[in-house]
Copies of this chain bind each other. A is one copy, B any other.
Amino acid sequence: MQPTPNSPDDHALGNAGEVAPTSASATPAFSPLYQQIKGLIMNSLQASEWKPGEAIPSEMELAVRYRVSQGTVRKAIDELAAENLVVRRQGKGTFVATHAERQVQYRFLKLFPDHGDASSEGPAQRQIVDCKRLRASADVARSLNLRTGDAVLQVRRVLSFSKAPTILEDLWLPGGPFKGLTAERLTDYHGPMYALFETEFGVRMVRAQEKLRAVLPDEVQCALLKITPHTPLLSVERIAYTYNDTPMELRRGLYVTDQHYYRNELS
């Protein structure tokens, strides 16, 4: 699959017929060279050739490796950086993105306090309510690309800000990749859950989709969040994906929004 050197003057690898990644069929499916390079780099990321937080090879090194110009590698990395798979740091190098960095911690959490900012509020207090292994129901299985009855892990937790319970979350994780995850490890780990997933299970969440609604709580939810039955809650259902658009987490959250709001930037 890698471009092969032929004639010394043959830098411009034939564009159309050169690489036929999947389909040998009708559509020309022209793919620019930098897209192919991007794919190769993504493969290496997925294969953990370089781990989260580490530097990937320099642009020049990659250009030599793939036998293309530095500019082509640059454009490939540009797109990876735009997708947050990688972080560029001038003068230092390009690094595999990680949820463990201070700067991008809680990248997927869009809930902010009405007054002050996230830092003034301090970190959330986390309480694992439950963590058990069970068989996937039909809808959980569908969300995670599993079959009904497959082993999944279910976690329930409460997040509190300034001692006020604010988020009640249920998580479902595929049993295979997350074998060995226990309530204890979740409780003991300090830092974002997605950082734990990276370091302990080699699962890096790359993007996610959320569906929001307004709902009313049931009795159990009222008790856990310490609210009355008529308090409207923001329901946030998230599916998080690793590389390859593989779903690796289903999360159903209930947010108390009298002191916080969910922020979204449109452009």
Which residue on B lies nearest to A85, using beta carbons? B267
Is B267 in contact with A213, judged by CB distance below 8 angstroms?
A: no
Is B267 in contact with A210, judged by CB distance below 8 angstroms?
A: no
Is B209 in contact with A232, judged by CB distance below 8 angstroms?
A: no
Cβ of A89 under 8 Å from chain B: no
Q: How far is the CB of A216 from chain B (nearest CB, A)?
A: 5
Inter-chain CA distance A238–B257, complex, in Å, is 16
Which residue on B lies nearest to A233, using beta carbons? B214
Cβ of A215 under 8 Å from chain B: yes
Instruction: Find chain B residues with CB under 8 A from A257 CB.
Output: 212-215
Instruction: Find chain B residues with CB under 8 A from A216 CB.
Output: 230, 232
Which residue on B lies nearest to A237, using beta carbons? B261
Cβ of A211 under 8 Å from chain B: yes
Cβ of A62 under 8 Å from chain B: no
Interface string of A74-111 (1 = CB under 8 A from B): 00000000111000000000000000000000011010
Copies of this protein chain in the complex? 2
Name 15 extra pairs, CB < 8 A, besides A207-B267, A234-B234, A238-B266: A83-B267, A107-B266, A110-B264, A206-B267, A207-B266, A208-B265, A208-B267, A209-B264, A210-B265, A213-B257, A214-B215, A214-B232, A216-B230, A216-B232, A264-B264
Interface string of A209-228 (1 = CB under 8 A from B): 11111111000000000000
Residues facing B in A131-150 (CB within 8 A) are: none
Inter-chain CA distance A257–B215, complex, in Å, is 8
Which residue on B lies nearest to A263, using beta carbons? B211
Is B212 in contact with A261, judged by CB distance below 8 angstroms?
A: yes
Inter-chain CA distance A207–B267, complex, in Å, is 4
Instruction: Find chain B residues with CB under 8 A from A84 CB.
Output: 267
Inter-chain CA distance A216–B230, complex, in Å, is 9
Is A261 in contact with B211, judged by CB distance below 8 angstroms?
A: yes
Which residue on B lies nearest to A234, using beta carbons? B214
Is B267 in contact with A212, judged by CB distance below 8 angstroms?
A: no
Cβ of A201 under 8 Å from chain B: no
Among B212, B214, B232, point to the contact of A264 (Cβ < 8 A): B212
Inter-chain CA distance A168–B58, complex, in Å, is 53
Instruction: Find chain B residues with CB under 8 A from A262 CB.
Output: 211-213
Inter-chain CA distance A141–B234, complex, in Å, is 28
Instruction: Find chain B residues with CB under 8 A from A265 CB.
Output: 207-210
Q: How far is the CB of A227 from chain B (nearest CB, A)?
A: 11
Instruction: Find chain B residues with CB under 8 A from A215 CB.
Output: 214, 232, 257
Which residue on B lies nearest to A206, using beta carbons? B267
Instruction: Find chain B residues with CB under 8 A from A255 CB.
Output: 214
